[in-house]
Amino acid sequence: MNLQTFLDDVASIVAASDDENEITKRVAERLSALLDSGYRLPRELTRPSPDHHVNYPLHLASGWCVAVVVWAPGQRTPVHGHETWGVVGIYSGAEREIRYAKPTGPGPLVELGEQVFRRGEVTVCCTTDDDVHSVVAESDEPTIGIHVYGADIGTVERRRYDPATGEVQWFAGGWHTP
Ligand SMILES: [Fe+2]
């Protein structure tokens, strides 16, 4: 599968439904097919930063986007939400995802469990009502994910949490320049 076919498929899926569970299930199938096809990202979108993980825009559409997220070994995200749906496919390396219940009030976050995803694996990371996690890169090589979101994930205002207190800080992740 080439990238354009994948993007056309996602556009059709997003246009055909408002049901996040339906959209993420179908996008996950297509992302899995893209990874299985041996698709290769442009090299400039696979470079980690020594300071923090980076988000490169692969495709920005109206109401959804595809991001390439690159971690150097050992880098991790804070606990955060997305305010939309998201599907993550692992292009190289491995990531450990720690999931939390989305808080409905003040207080410490409740951890739901963790799982490791490796190259070729795809997971529905989020729907708007279930979107709180942190991610750790767990490989000797850079961890690279292809992420599809139901919003422009570089500009959407979303929550960062202190899991010990539940305190929220709003932030926008921004996009990095390849
Ligand atoms: Fe995330």
Q: Which residue, 95, 118, 98, 100, is CA-closest to 110? A: 100
Q: What six digits make up the tokens of 165?
A: 């207190």
Average pLDDT on 27-47 reads 97
Looking at residue 164, what is its pLDDT? Answer: 97
Residue ranges per domain, the chain?
42-171
Q: Is the pLDDT confidence value at 110 over 90? A: yes
Average pLDDT, the chain: 97
Looking at residue 54, what is its pLDDT? Answer: 97
Q: How far is the CA of 37 from the centre of ligand 1 (A)?
A: 25
- If pLDDT is split at 50, 70 and 90, which confidence band does 71 have? very high
Chain centre distance of CA 23 = 15
Q: How far is the CA of 17 from the centre of ligand 1 (A)?
A: 23
Q: Which residues pair with 134 in a beta bridge?
A: 98
Strand order in the sheet with 54-61: 54-61, 64-71, 143-149, 86-92, 122-126
Strands (E), the chain: 54-61, 64-71, 79-80, 86-92, 94-100, 111-118, 122-126, 132-137, 143-149, 158-161, 168-171
Sign for the pseudo-dihedral over CA of 169, 143, 140, 53: negative
Strand order in the sheet with 79-80: 111-118, 94-100, 132-137, 79-80, 158-161, 168-171
SS3 172: coil
Pick the CATH number of 42-171 from 3.40.50.300, 2.60.120.10, 3.40.980.10, 3.10.20.740: 2.60.120.10
Q: How far is the CA of 116 from the centre of ligand 1 (A)?
A: 14
Average pLDDT on 60-86 reads 97
Q: Over pLDDT 70: what percentage of the chain?
A: 100
Q: What six digits make up the tokens of 15?
A: 């246009």
Question: How far is residue 129 from each of residues 21, 132, 172, measured CA to CA in Å?
Answer: 11, 9, 19
Q: How far is the CA of 45 from the centre of ligand 1 (A)?
A: 18
Looking at residue 178, what is its pLDDT? Answer: 87
Q: How far is the CA of 9 from the centre of ligand 1 (A)?
A: 23
